[in-house]
């Protein structure tokens, strides 16, 4: 299964529920005390990757696939998001382009070119449409939010491709369909867009990916002397370079025959308020809303590099725009940017009051007074938590007050059942040390997991090699004049075959034998032993937790005894 743009590394997840609290659409499922992304509910705003205290929420890396494409295709252009001007502010245009070309790209083009065409097409669309409220399709996070959680407004989204996709279509029209386009910017949701439009954009990477790639290749852009060819192609963008700031799209929206009222809002919390109870039916006016999920615009995207003030970032964008006047642009009227957006309702299903009461009762909340709404579980209210329980997105042990009560009730029973063990305590019954069995066992499990991952990867590469071997053999029999067409039609299969073949060759060259059956047998043995060790580890963990709970209970009893008023007896 393909890795999604945002995913969880379970080993790093510490069940703090911060991602549940912070997620604007609660697209998080807790399973075995680990927080996983619910793909169909997620809008890929990337906020969870910013707030996760342990770094368990990860952004899918696109550099590996990009390198593979650069190795297999002669013409690959990087579509650079316009917020580059405030992310790489210490570099000249030439230095940045020179550094990107050293990575293997044949050229660099501004995504803002696509933005300008989008603005032009939206203007025409608004002129020809009936009065009403229309919403920009430029921000993929906003589009995902409306499609999934405000479905009644889906028809109001202007039916145009985003600037990234429009730019890719322009480049392929200009240079030919065999051109490969890679996007780089501060937006994580662009990875989702690229996944859905693989015929236009091969891979979307972030500015962080790009910067790390420079470092790994030992490329220092600030030290480069740009050559004559280190400039944006096929032409330099103009007004589209304002797109990454709030309101940046609006200057490009105009009309000759009809007045268009233009408004801009940013920050998803604001946007929720804007479209809540929004009546899109208008009798006279046409209202156009530029909605950007990130506060201040794309300059504040989740994968941004710079932490500079938004005011300075906006200033840098405006200065860049002022320094570069409009270029001469060829006629692009034949390029089709139209698309459609389908609603996919993910809003909370309606549950019966009885279902909610049963869920509340399961965590000891049998009356309104029991509903503390403390948000310890990550949900705003106990009833929201109950809905998540009904839908299987939450677990009962997420409720802090419930678990505190359970721990108290079971303390006496657990005391009688704890087996003998090595435990050091001080005079106050506070645990000062414990045996290393738990840690040794955990290390054994981690070692097994790593070995299983290695063997699984080998098995997958072996399967991938065999799956596409036939296409590779067919290529060898293709006539030279038909070879390029065959490679274009089967580019994906050939890339996957080459990657698998190279992987297996490197494995064999390192001294490893190619033994798929033996790999699977070892995986089965390691998995079985890991399951046994995991059960032992969990049992040991629960025993240690029980001792700690008993210690706390003893401390509390001691405090109560100490604070109890004493009977001094009759005065004499």
Quick one: pLDDT band at residue 370, thresholds 50, 70, 90?
Answer: confident
Q: Is the pLDDT of residue 546 over 50?
A: yes
**Which two three-digit tokens encode residue 385?**
């938590």
Q: Is the pLDDT of residue 514 over 60?
A: yes
Beta strands per DSSP E along 445-572: none
pTM for the complete prediction? 0.70
**What local confidence, expressed as pLDDT, does residue 351 receive?**
85
What integer is the mean pLDDT of 371-388?
89
**Which two three-digit tokens encode residue 499?**
């990657």
Quick one: pLDDT band at residue 568, thresholds 50, 70, 90?
Answer: very low
What integer is the mean pLDDT of 334-339?
96
Q: Is the pLDDT of residue 97 over 70?
A: yes
What residues form DSSP beta bridges with 264? 290
Burial-class residue 518 by CB neighbours within 10 Å (0-12, 13-18, 19+): exposed
Asked if the peptide bond before residue 234 counts as cis, ω within 30 degrees of 0, the response is yes
DSSP class of residue 339? -
Burial-class residue 130 by CB neighbours within 10 Å (0-12, 13-18, 19+): exposed
90 with 221: CB under 8 angstroms? Answer: no
**Which two three-digit tokens encode residue 482?**
């038909």
**What local confidence, expressed as pLDDT, does residue 418 receive?**
44
Query: Count of CB atoms within 10 A of residue 511's CB?
Result: 6
Q: Is the pLDDT of residue 425 over 50?
A: no
Please tell me the number of Cα atoms within 13 Å of 68 on its side-chain side: 18
The span from the CA of 441 to the CA of 439, in Å, is 5
CA distances from 107 to 77, 102, 219 (A): 5, 10, 17
Beta strands per DSSP E along 294-349: none
Instruction: Give SS3 for 114.
Output: helix
Q: To 5 degrees, how large is the angle CA 445–CA 447–CA 451?
A: 115
Quick one: pLDDT band at residue 177, thresholds 50, 70, 90?
Answer: very high
Lowest mean pLDDT across 169-178, 198-207, 397-406 = 397-406
430-489 confidence digits (pLDDT tens)? 544 444 555 567 778 889 899 999 999 999 999 999 999 998 899 888 888 888 898 888
195-250 confidence digits (pLDDT tens)? 999 999 999 999 999 999 999 999 999 999 999 999 999 999 999 999 999 999 99
The dihedral sign for the CA sequence 548, 551, 557, 561: negative
Closest CA to 43 of 378, 344, 459: 344
The span from the CA of 145 to the CA of 41, in Å, is 9
The span from the CA of 334 to the CA of 41, in Å, is 36
Q: Is the pLDDT of residue 564 over 60?
A: no
Q: Is the pLDDT of residue 534 over 90?
A: no
Most distant CA atoms of the chain, gap in Å: 120
103 with 70: CB under 8 angstroms? Answer: yes
DSSP secondary structure string, 257-290? SS-EEEEEEESHHHHHHHHTT---B-SS-EEEEE
Please give the distance of CA 146 from its chain centroid, rounded to a whole number.
Answer: 18
The span from the CA of 223 to the CA of 557, in Å, is 68
38 with 68: CB under 8 angstroms? Answer: no
12-31 confidence digits (pLDDT tens)? 998 888 999 999 999 999 99
Quick one: pLDDT band at residue 412, thresholds 50, 70, 90?
Answer: very low
The span from the CA of 340 to the CA of 381, in Å, is 36
Please tell me the number of Cα atoms within 13 Å of 493 on its side-chain side: 15
Lowest mean pLDDT across 126-140, 331-345, 474-488 = 474-488
Torsions phi, psi for 221 (to 5 deg)? -55, -35
Q: First vs last Cα of the chain: how many Å apart?
A: 85
The span from the CA of 29 to the CA of 295, in Å, is 26
286-328 confidence digits (pLDDT tens)? 999 999 999 999 999 999 988 899 999 999 999 988 887 777 8
**What local confidence, expressed as pLDDT, does residue 437 receive?**
57
The span from the CA of 374 to the CA of 356, in Å, is 18
**What local confidence, expressed as pLDDT, does residue 460 receive?**
93
The span from the CA of 32 to the CA of 534, in Å, is 13
The span from the CA of 333 to the CA of 173, in Å, is 12
**Which two three-digit tokens encode residue 184?**
């780089």
Angle between helix 207-216 and helix 63-72 axes, rounded to 10 deg: 70
56-88 confidence digits (pLDDT tens)? 999 999 999 999 999 999 999 999 999 999 999
DSSP secondary structure string, 495-531? HHHHHHHHHHHHHHHTT----HHHHHHHHHHHHHHHH
Most confident of 402-416, 514-528, 545-559: 514-528
What integer is the mean pLDDT of 566-570?
45
**What local confidence, expressed as pLDDT, does residue 281 receive?**
75
Angle between helix 516-563 and helix 400-417 axes, rounded to 10 deg: 90
What proportion of the chain, given as a percentage, has pLDDT over 70?
89
H/E element, 183? strand 180-185
| Strand 34-37 versus strand 107-110 pairing type | unpaired
**What local confidence, expressed as pLDDT, does residue 566 receive?**
47
The span from the CA of 565 to the CA of 541, in Å, is 39
- How many helices and strands in the chain, by DSSP H and E? 19, 13
**What local confidence, expressed as pLDDT, does residue 542 receive?**
73
**What local confidence, expressed as pLDDT, does residue 178 receive?**
95
Q: What is the mean pLDDT of the chain?
A: 87
What integer is the mean pLDDT of 531-540?
79
Q: Is the pLDDT of residue 284 over 60?
A: yes
């Amino acid at each position: 299964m393909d890795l999604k743009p945002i995913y969880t590394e379970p080993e790093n997840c510490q069940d703090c529920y911060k991602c549940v609290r912070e997620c604007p659409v609660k697209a998080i499922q807790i399973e075995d005390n680990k927080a996983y992304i619910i793909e169909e509910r997620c809008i890929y705003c990337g906020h969870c990757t910013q707030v996760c205290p342990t770094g368990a929420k990860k952004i899918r890396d696109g550099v590996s696939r990009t390198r593979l494409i650069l190795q297999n295709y002669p013409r690959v252009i990087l579509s650079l998001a316009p917020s580059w001007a405030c992310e790489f502010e210490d570099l000249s245009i030439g230095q940045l382009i020179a550094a990107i070309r050293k990575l293997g790209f044949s050229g660099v083009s501004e995504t803002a070119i696509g933005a300008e065409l989008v603005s032009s097409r939206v203007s025409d669309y608004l002129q020809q449409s009936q009065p009403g409220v229309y919403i920009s399709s430029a921000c993929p996070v906003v589009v995902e939010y409306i499609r999934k959680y405000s479905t009644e407004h889906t028809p109001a989204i202007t039916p145009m491709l985003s600037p990234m996709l429009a730019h890719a279509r322009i480049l392929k029209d200009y240079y030919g369909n065999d051109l490969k386009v890679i996007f780089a910017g501060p937006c994580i949701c662009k990875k989702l867009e690229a996944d859905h439009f693989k015929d236009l954009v091969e891979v979307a990477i972030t500015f962080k990916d790009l910067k790390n790639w420079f470092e790994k290749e030992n490329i220092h852009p600030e030290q480069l002397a740009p050559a004559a060819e280190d400039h944006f192609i096929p032409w330099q963008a103009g007004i589209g370079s304002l797109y990454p700031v709030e309101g940046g799209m609006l200057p490009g929206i105009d009309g000759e025959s009809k007045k268009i009222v233009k408004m801009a809002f940013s920050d998803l919390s604001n946007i929720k308020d804007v479209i809540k109870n929004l009546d899109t039916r208008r009798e006279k006016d046409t209202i156009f809303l530029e909605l950007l999920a990130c506060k201040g615009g794309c300059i504040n995207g989740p994968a941004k590099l710079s932490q500079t003030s938004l005011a300075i970032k906006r200033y840098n964008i405006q200065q860049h725009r002022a320094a570069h006047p409009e270029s001469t642009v060829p006629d692009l009227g034949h390029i089709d940017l139209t698309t459609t957006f389908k609603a996919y309702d993910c809003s909370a299903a309606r549950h019966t009051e009885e279902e909610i009461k049963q869920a509340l009762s399961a965590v000891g909340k049998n009356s309104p007074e029991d509903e503390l709404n403390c948000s310890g579980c990550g949900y705003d209210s106990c009833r929201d938590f109950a809905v998540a329980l009904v839908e299987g997105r939450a677990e009962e042990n997420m409720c802090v007050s419930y678990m505190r009560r359970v721990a108290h009730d079971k303390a006496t029973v657990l005391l009688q059942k704890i087996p003998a063990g090595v435990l050091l305590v001080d005079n106050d019954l506070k645990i000062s040390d414990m045996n290393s069995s738990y840690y040794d066992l955990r290390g054994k499990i981690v070692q097994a997991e790593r070995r299983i991952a290695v063997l699984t990867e080998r098995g997958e590469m072996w399967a991938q090699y065999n799956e596409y071997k036939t296409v590779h053999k067919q290529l060898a029999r293709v006539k030279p004049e038909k070879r390029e067409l065959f490679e274009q039609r089967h580019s994906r299969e050939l890339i996957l075959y080459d990657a698998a073949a190279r992987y297996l060759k490197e494995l064999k060259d390192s001294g490893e034998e190619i033994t798929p059956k033996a790999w699977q047998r070892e995986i089965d043995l390691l998995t079985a032993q890991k399951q046994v060790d995991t059960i032992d580890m969990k049992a040991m963990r629960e025993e240690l937790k029980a001792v700690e709970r008993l210690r706390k209970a003893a401390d509390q009893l001691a405090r109560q005894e100490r604070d109890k008023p004493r009977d001094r007896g009759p005065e004499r």
